[in-house]
Chain A
């Protein structure tokens, strides 16, 4: 699993509440990514980071923000959760060989 953990693994929240998901890596890789996976859409890139405090938007970034204050942690925040953000969220790190390694995922349900 390339030393990637995600927390929490499951979360139920209500519409309008802020939610923060954490991705932690133990191998000091520079590049980290957040994806969401929904039926019929495959994985879609939300945000990515190419270093501490260096982040950029992906394909579906509206309603999400990220922060990376340390190499090992990449946080994804839903500012005000909506039902459309119910999904499975995956974090990934990228090695020098351009391969990405994925965390176990976080299942988020927004009621």
Chain B
């Protein structure tokens, strides 16, 4: 079953605007990661936030994590046409043998000129 669920499923904004995507999950996690996927390509890691962190920044990206609400958000500021892609959150649980990532269904972001 899906651990992370993104909201909205699709988002269309104009260049220069901010884009916010949300992710909700169900169980305890070790960390949460956000990935980006351009059409027809593999996923690219954007940012990792650990369960004991509340906010993290990387360039134009800002991620928050609220473990009490089991939710995270990804904010892309000053969006560009090149940000057009699908964005996925992935919750991470470390088992005895490996880290298991469970992905949500993604948010499709369209940035228009």
Contacts and interface: CB of A to CB of B under 8 A. Distances in A.
A56 B43 contact: no
A111 interface: no
Interface in B24-72: 30-31, 33, 41-45, 48
Interface of A: 1, 31, 33, 35, 40-45, 48, 50, 54, 56, 58-59, 90, 92, 94, 97-105
A100 B90 CA distance: 10
A90 B43 contact: yes
B47 to A, nearest CB: 10
A43 B37 CA distance: 11
Nearest to B4: A42
Interface of B: 2, 4, 30-31, 33, 41-45, 48, 88, 90, 92, 94, 97-106
| Chain B contact surface mostly | strand
| Chain A contact surface mostly | strand
Enumerate the 4 nearest inter-chain pairs by beta-carbon distance, A residue then B residue, closest first: A102-B42, A42-B103, A43-B103, A42-B105
B109 to A, nearest CB: 15
B49 to A, nearest CB: 11
B45 A101 contact: yes
B31 to A, nearest CB: 6
Given A42-B88, A45-B102, A99 B42 contact: no
Contacts of A42: 2, 4, 88, 103-106
